[in-house]
C-alpha cells in the first residue's frame, strides 16, 4: 500500500501525545502537583470543639455529618473521601518524579527536586495517617493499622495494598524526611517558593511530625532551624498592629498571601470553605467568638476581628475564594481556596510545647510572650507577659508543665479557628469533645478512645484489599 507524505508524517508520531517527563525542568514542573489539592479544614473543624450549633436554617449535609461524627456520605470537595483521593494523587506525582530521577544518568541535576519529592511524599502520608489512623502512641503504634505508604508509581488499574502499622508509616515518613531535607535547595524555585517545600517549610513540617512522635528534642532543633536567629518574632503576623487596621477584604487577602512571612507553605485546594465557613449551622457563634478572643492566661483580649452579616454567624477573615469559570456565558466553574499548610505560629507553638515537655519552661514562656506581643489588644508587657507563677495561678495548679500546656492549647485553639488544626491537638492530647444542641437538650461527647476519631477510609479502598476502620 502506498502512503502519501501527509499520512507517513502522521504515522511517525508517537500515539501518546502526553508530555514526556524527561528533564530536570519537567520534573520540577511535575512536583507542582505533589501537594494535595483538597482541603481537610471543613470536616476536621466540624468535628472539633471550635464549632457550636447555631440553630440556623442552613443545614449543609457534610457540615452536619461532621458535627455528629458520622461517616460523610458526600464525596466531593471538602470531604474525607475527596481529601484521600487528592492526597494519593499528590503522592503519585511525587513517586513519578522520583522514578524519573532514579532512571536519570545525571542524578545530581535532579538533587533539589528529589528533596522536594521526598518531603511532599512524607507530608501527604503524614496527613493521611493522622486523619485515618489512630494518633501515634509508642505503646500501640506497632499494632495500630496505618495507611498504605506508596513509594512507586501505579501501573495497574486496581493495585493491592497493605495498611501495615502506624509505626511502619512513621518510619517511612521519617526516612523520607531525613533523606529529603538536606537536598532541598531554595534557589531552585522560581516565582513563588511558598508553594513548595523550602528548607524553612521542611523544618516546619518536621516540628509537627516530631511533636506527634513526642521526640521533643528534635522539635526544638527543627524549630530553631526554621527561624533565622532562633527568634520567631520577625515571622509572626502583626495582628494587633498592621492587621487590626485592615478592612475584612484586605485582611482576607493578606492571610493567604505568598509574600506573608508567616506562611511557610501554601497550597491551592478545590473548596467552598471560604464561602461557607460563615453561614454553616455548625460553626462559630457569638459566645464562642468571645471566648476565643477574650479568655486566656495573658489577661488581655486578643485583637482577632470577628464579623457577621447575621449576628449568629461569626467569622474572622482568613480565606478568599477564587472562582474559575469554565464557561464565560454561565456561572459554572470551580471554587479554589489557598490554604496555609504550615505557618510560623504553628512552629512557635510546637517549640513551646516541646520545651515545656523537656522542662525548659523559661524558653517556652519566651515564645508565648512573643506571640502575645503580636496579639494582645493595647499590648502592655508589664500586664500581659507570662511567668511561671502567673500560669500556675491562672490554672490553679502547682504543676508548671500542665499549666503551660493548657496555655499553649488555648492560644492555639484561638489562633487557628477555621483552619482545622484544633483537631490535631484533640488527637495528640486525647481531649474529649462535647457538642451540645442549640436548644441544650442533647449533649454528645466523643471520648478519647472513640473509633470515630479515625475517619473512615473510602469504600473503594476495600477493592485494594484495605480493611475499613471499626465503627
Q: In this structure, what are the phi and psi dihedrals at residue 57, rounded to the nearest 5 degrees?
A: -75, -30
Domain edges within the chain: 22-464
Q: What is the pLDDT along the chain (471 residues), one digit of tens a residue?
A: 443 444 444 334 444 444 578 899 999 999 999 999 999 999 999 999 999 999 998 889 999 999 999 999 999 999 999 999 999 999 999 999 999 999 999 999 999 999 999 999 999 999 999 999 999 999 999 999 999 999 999 877 678 899 999 999 999 999 999 999 999 999 999 878 899 999 999 999 999 999 999 999 999 999 999 999 999 999 999 999 999 999 999 999 999 999 999 999 999 999 999 999 999 999 999 999 999 999 999 999 999 999 999 999 999 999 999 998 877 777 788 999 999 999 999 999 999 999 999 999 999 999 999 999 999 999 999 999 999 999 999 999 999 999 999 999 999 999 999 999 999 999 999 999 999 999 999 999 999 999 999 999 998 888 889 999 999
Question: Cell triple for residue 307?
Answer: 464579623
Fold held by 22-464: 1.25.40
Residue 19 confidence (pLDDT): 58
Contact call for residues 374 and 238 (beta carbons, < 8 A): yes
Amino acid at each position: 500500500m502506498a502512503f502519501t507524505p501527509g499520512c507517513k508524517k502522521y504515522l511517525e508520531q508517537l500515539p501518546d501525545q502526553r508530555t514526556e517527563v524527561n528533564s530536570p525542568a519537567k520534573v520540577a514542573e511535575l512536583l507542582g502537583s505533589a501537594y494535595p489539592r483538597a482541603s481537610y479544614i471543613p470536616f476536621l473543624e466540624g468535628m472539633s470543639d471550635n464549632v457550636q450549633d447555631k440553630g440556623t436554617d442552613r443545614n449543609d449535609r457534610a457540615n452536619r455529618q461532621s458535627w455528629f461524627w458520622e461517616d460523610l456520605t458526600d464525596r466531593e470537595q471538602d470531604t474525607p473521601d475527596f481529601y484521600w483521593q487528592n492526597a494519593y494523587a499528590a503522592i503519585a506525582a511525587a513517586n513519578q518524579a522520583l522514578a524519573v530521577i532514579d532512571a536519570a544518568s545525571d542524578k545530581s541535576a535532579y538533587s533539589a527536586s528529589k528533596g522536594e519529592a521526598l518531603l511532599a511524599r512524607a507530608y501527604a502520608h503524614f496527613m493521611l495517617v493522622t486523619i485515618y489512623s489512630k494518633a501515634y502512641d509508642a505503646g500501640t503504634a506497632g499494632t495500630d493499622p496505618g495507611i498504605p505508604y506508596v513509594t512507586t508509581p501505579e501501573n495497574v488499574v486496581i493495585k493491592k495494598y497493605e495498611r501495615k502499622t502506624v509505626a511502619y508509616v512513621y518510619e517511612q515518613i521519617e526516612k523520607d524526611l531525613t533523606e529529603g531535607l538536606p537536598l532541598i535547595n531554595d534557589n531552585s524555585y522560581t516565582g513563588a517558593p511558598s508553594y513548595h517545600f523550602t528548607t524553612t517549610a521542611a523544618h516546619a513540617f518536621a516540628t509537627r511530625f516530631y511533636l506527634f512522635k513526642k521526640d521533643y528534642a528534635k522539635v526544638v532543633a527543627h524549630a530553631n532551624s526554621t527561624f533565622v536567629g532562633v527568634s520567631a518574632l520577625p515571622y509572626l503576623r502583626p495582628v494587633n498592629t498592621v492587621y487590626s487596621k485592615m478592612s475584612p477584604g484586605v485582611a482576607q487577602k493578606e492571610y493567604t498571601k505568598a509574600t506573608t512571612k508567616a506562611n511557610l507553605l501554601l497550597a491551592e485546594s478545590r473548596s467552598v470553605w471560604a464561602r461557607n465557613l460563615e453561614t454553616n449551622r455548625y460553626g462559630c457563634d457569638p459566645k464562642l467568638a468571645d471566648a476565643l478572643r477574650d479568655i486566656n492566661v495573658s489577661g488581655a483580649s486578643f485583637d482577632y476581628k470577628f464579623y457577621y452579616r447575621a449576628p449568629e454567624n461569626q467569622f474572622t477573615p482568613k480565606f478568599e475564594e477564587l472562582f474559575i469559570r469554565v464557561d464565560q456565558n454561565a456561572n459554572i466553574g470551580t471554587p479554589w481556596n489557598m490554604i496555609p499548610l504550615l505557618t510560623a505560629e504553628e512552629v512557635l507553638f510546637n517549640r513551646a510545647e516541646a520545651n515545656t515537655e523537656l522542662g525548659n519552661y523559661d524558653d517556652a514562656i519566651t515564645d508565648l510572650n512573643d506571640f502575645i506581643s503580636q496579639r494582645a489588644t493595647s499590648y502592655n508587657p508589664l500586664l500581659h507577659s507570662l511567668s511561671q507563677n502567673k500560669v500556675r495561678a491562672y490554672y490553679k495548679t502547682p504543676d508548671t508543665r500542665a499549666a503551660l500546656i493548657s496555655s499553649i492549647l488555648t492560644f492555639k485553639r484561638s489562633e487557628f479557628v477555621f483552619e482545622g488544626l484544633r483537631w490535631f491537638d484533640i488527637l495528640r492530647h486525647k481531649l474529649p469533645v462535647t457538642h451540645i444542641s442549640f436548644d441544650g437538650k442533647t449533649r454528645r461527647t466523643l471520648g478519647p478512645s472513640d473509633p470515630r476519631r479515625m475517619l473512615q477510609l473510602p469504600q473503594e479502598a476495600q477493592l485494594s484489599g484495605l480493611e475499613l476502620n471499626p465503627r
